[in-house]
Amino acid sequence: MATLSIILRKDKINKEGLCPIHLRIIKDRKISYISTSIYLLENQWDEKNKKVKKAHPNSSRLNSFISNKFTELQDQVFEHETISKSLTTKQLKTKIYGHKPTNFFEFSKQLLEQYEKQKMHGTHDKAKAILNKIEKYIGSTSLMLQDITPDFLKKYDAFCRKEFNNLTNTVHKDMKFIRRVINEAISSDVIEIQQNPFLKYKLKSEKTQRVYLNEDELAQLVAVKCTPGTRLELHRDMFEVAAYTGGLRVSDMLLLKWKNLDATHIHFTIKKTSSQISIKVPNKALAIINKYRPIKSSPETYVFPMLSNSLNQSDARAMDRAISAATAYINKNLKILAEKAELAKHVSFHISRHTFATRALKKGISIDKVSKLMGHAQIRETQIYAKIVNEELDKAMDIFND
C-alpha cells in the first residue's frame, strides 16, 4: 500500500532561496514526487503540522489548496491501487497525472537506430521516408505522440492520397509504421494504452492480384532474341533461371557465387530470412548458368556479373545500394523484354517468383515442398499461390456449363 505525505523540499532550494512543496508517494521503498507549484521560505513552513504558517499573508488560501490537492491524490491512489496492487510509484503518478508530452520524431529515431543496428537498411530507409512525409504534412518536427489521434490519422491519410497520389496499400504501410511507433511508446510506458489512436482508427488495405506468367507467356519472354553478351540477354537469362529454380529473389540471384554451386545444386543463405537452402537446379537452368562460367572461375566471383567483385561485403549499406541499383536496371530491361514479347503484363523480376510457384503447383509438387523451395517462413505465404491455381481450375471447369 502506498503512503502519502506533504513535504517541504529543502534539497530543491531555488536561486531565490525558496523551497517547493511536494506531495510524496512511497511504495515498496520507491519514492515519487508531485509538485504543487507552491514555493516557500523554509521559516514559512510548519513541519510538524504540514501547513503554511499563519504568518504567511496567503496561508489560508495556500493551506486550503494543499489540503484539497492531497485529498484528491489520496482518492486517486486508492482508486488505482484497488484496480491493480502491483502499480509502482512511477506508474501511480503517471496514471493520475499522465505522461509528459514526448516528441514523435525523437521517439521514432530510436526505432530507426534499431533498424540500423540490425542492418535492416531497407526498412530503415523506408521508415525515414515516411517520417519525411509526416514532417511535410505538419510543416515541422513539432509533433507529440499524444497529438496523434484518430482525427490526425484520417487527415494524414487524405494528405497522402492528394499530395503524393498514394494508393490504399501505400498509405497502409505508412500507418503500420506509425502504429509500430505508438506500440513501442506504450511498451516503454511513454503513453497510456488508452491513448492509442489505432483503437478507433482501423487500417485499410486492398487485396493485390499476384501477377505471374503462364507457360506460353514465359516461353514468349525467353524466346525474345537479344544480342549476345548484352545486359538485356543477361537479365532475360536471370529471370528464366529464377522461374525454373525455386523463384529465387533478385537479391539472392545477384549475390550468387560460383562457390554456391556444385554439379547439380545451389547451396546458399537467403538474404531476406538468413535461412540456409539447397535447391537442385533443373537442366534448362543449369545450361543457362554454365553460359556465364568463365574458363578459370574464382569461387568468390558472382555467377551473374552485375555486382562488382570489389564491393566490400561487410558494408551492408553499400551492398544494399548496389543491389537496389542493379534491381532497378534489371526491371527496366524486363519491361523492354515484355514489350518485345508482346505481353500485356507488367513484368518485374519478382514476377519470376510468382511464376515458379504457380508452375510448380500445377505440375503437382506438393505445397509444403514448394514452400520449402521458396524459403517461405510460413506455409500460408505459399497458400496464396495454391488459391490462384485452384481459381484457374475452377474457371477451366466452367466449360461444362456452356
d(CA 306, CA 303): 9
Looking at residue 386, what is its pLDDT? 65
CA distances to 138, 145, 203, 315 from 105, rounded to whole Å, are 12, 9, 21, 27
Please give the sequence-ordered ranges of beta strands (E in DSSP) within 201-297, or none if there are none: 265-269, 276-280
**In this structure, what are the phi and psi dihedrals at residue 272, rounded to the nearest 5 degrees?**
-65, -40
pLDDT in tens, 181-212: 999 988 887 887 888 999 999 998 887 777 88
d(CA 91, CA 2): 12
Instruction: Classify the C-alpha dihedral 272-276-282-285 as positive or negative.
Output: positive
Give the type of residue at 314. Answer: S
d(CA 138, CA 273): 36
d(CA 108, CA 293): 47
d(CA 391, CA 397): 10
Looking at residue 230, what is its pLDDT? 95
Looking at residue 76, what is its pLDDT? 77
Q: What does the block give as the cell for 222?
A: 525467353
For residues 102 and 190, the answer to whether their CB atoms sit within 8 Å is yes
d(CA 321, CA 315): 10
Give the type of residue at 146. Answer: Q
Reading the chain (402 residues) residue by residue, the pLDDT tens digits are: 778 889 999 998 988 899 999 988 888 788 888 888 888 999 999 999 999 999 998 889 899 988 988 887 787 777 766 666 666 666 666 655 555 668 899 999 999 999 988 888 889 999 999 999 999 998 888 888 888 999 999 999 999 999 999 999 999 999 999 999 999 988 887 887 888 999 999 998 887 777 889 899 999 999 999 999 999 999 999 999 999 998 899 999 999 999 999 989 999 888 887 888 888 999 999 999 999 988 887 899 999 999 988 888 788 888 888 999 999 999 999 999 999 999 999 999 999 988 888 888 888 877 788 777 777 767 676 677 666 666 655 665 565 566
Where in the chain do CATH 1.10.150 domains reside? 104-199
pTM: 0.65
* Region for 139 from its dihedrals, namely left if φ exceeds 0, alpha if ψ lies in -120 to 50, beta otherwise: left
* HSE-up of residue 105 (Cα within 13 Å, Cβ side): 15
- With cell 534448362, the residue in question is 284
Where in the chain do CATH 1.10.443.10 domains reside? 215-399
List helix spans (H) across 341-378: 351-362, 367-373
d(CA 164, CA 253): 33
The SS3 of residue 380 is: helix
Give the type of residue at 325. Answer: A
Is 1.10.357 the CATH classification of the domain at 104-199? no
Q: Measuring CA to CA, which residue among 330, 347, 348, 319 is closest to residue 255?
A: 319
Q: What does the block give as the cell for 310?
A: 570489389
d(CA 65, CA 77): 18
Q: Would you call 337 exposed, middle or buried from its count of C-beta atoms within 10 A (0-12, 13-18, 19+)?
A: buried
CA distances to 166, 236, 250, 335 from 223, rounded to whole Å, are 36, 9, 21, 15
CATH number corresponding to 215-399:
1.10.443.10
Q: Measuring CA to CA, which residue among 174, 131, 125, 139 is closest to residue 154?
A: 174
